[in-house]
Structure formats: C-alpha cells, structure tokens
Amino acid sequence: MKLNDLRDNPGARKAPIVVGRGIGSGKGKTCGRGVKGQKARSGVSIKGFEGGQMPLIRRLPKRGFKNIFAKEYAELNLCILQAAVDSGRIDAAQPITSESLMASGVAPKARDGVRLLGKGVLTAKLALTLAGASKSAVEAVEKVGGTITLTVKPKEKKAA
C-alpha cells in the first residue's frame, strides 16, 4: 500500500449543500428557509418562545437554593493515596500537601483544596496537611501512626 492509494471510505465525506443558485437546484430563491419572517433571516432564533403563550420555563415553579459561597473540594480516597505511595509517585517520608498531590497528579485540580475521604485501606505512615478530611479518613491515618492537619476548620453543629 502506498500513500497515493489511501482513500476515504465511500460516503465518508459529504459535499455541502449549495444554496441560492436558481430554482433548478432545489435550494434556490429562499434557500429552504420558507418565506419571510424572523426565522427566515440569518442569525435569529427564539429559544423557548411559544407564540405569546407563557413559556414552559417560566410556568414551572422555582425551587431550591444555590450557595455561591460554597467551597468545592477535590476529593481523594485513601485507596488512591496508598496506590500513589506504593507506585512511588508520592514520597511517604516527606510532608504531603494539596500542592504536592496536584504536582504528582494524584489529585485533580484543587479548587478550594483537597479533602481526604475514608474509602480504602491505608498502610503507609503519612504526614498530611489538607483542607479537609472525613472522620473515617482521620481515624485511618492516625491508626497507622500518621498525622493529619486540617487547614479549614470543620463546622460545628448548632445546638437546637
């Protein structure tokens, strides 16, 4: 086989429809847009317009609340952390921060920091400094003799 023998599969490339070239072409005069009106013009489309009737999106009730100040943490499970230590991507002797986790590619981009979750088993003794951690993750780290420092103080529950 030579380079000049390479071809696309039949039907892989389709020629674009040429519009506005006379009535014999089938797409002449109005170019398949019909006649007159806003939708016959280029660059105009009315999303959700229902001919003067109240649009569906405005008929439905609004529900819920989106907290714009909510923190968004990158989540990291113990099993992934242990696998990174075993593979040598993380040095267990050095203190581990969210920056070192991102640099080694273990944690995705840390939006507001990295939060450690308790899924999996940890066997390495680690010194961690992270934004947050679940109770089970803190217990697992301390059980193997490691330390964990949280940079964001956990919220205390209000007494009712």
Of the candidates 107, 87, 89, the one whose C-alpha atom is nearest the C-alpha of residue 97 is 107
Asked, for residue 155, whether it belongs to a domain, the answer is no
Residue 112's CATH number: 3.100.10.10
Asked, for residue 2, whether it belongs to a domain, the answer is no
Render pLDDT for 8-47 as a digit per residue (tens, 0 to 9).
Answer: 999 999 999 999 999 999 999 999 988 888 888 887 777 8
Asked, for residue 101, whether it belongs to a domain, the answer is yes
Name the amino acid, one letter, at 153: K
The Cα 111–Cα 108 span in angstroms is 9
Number of structural domains, the chain?
1
Q: What share of the chain is helix, strand, coil (3-state, %, to 5)?
A: 25, 15, 60
Per-residue pLDDT for 158 more than 80?
no
Check: CB of residue 114 under 8 Å from CB of residue 133: no
Asked, for residue 80, whether it belongs to a domain, the answer is yes
- Name residue, tokens 């109240």: 54
Q: What is the pLDDT of residue 78?
A: 92
For residues 47 and 158, which has the higher predicted lDDT (pLDDT)?
A: 47
Asked, for residue 140, whether it belongs to a domain, the answer is yes
Q: What is the pLDDT of residue 61?
A: 93
Render pLDDT for 145-156 as a digit per residue (tens, 0 to 9).
Answer: 989 998 887 777
Write out the residue range of the structural domain in which residue 102 sits: 74-150
The fraction of the chain above a pLDDT of 90, given in percent, is 46
Asked, for residue 139, whether it belongs to a domain, the answer is yes
Q: What is the pLDDT of residue 6?
A: 94
Per-residue pLDDT for 160 more than 70?
no
Asked, for residue 126, whether it belongs to a domain, the answer is yes
Of the candidates 37, 105, 117, the one whose C-alpha atom is nearest the C-alpha of residue 75 is 117
The fraction of the chain above a pLDDT of 70, given in percent, is 98
Asked, for residue 58, whether it belongs to a domain, the answer is no
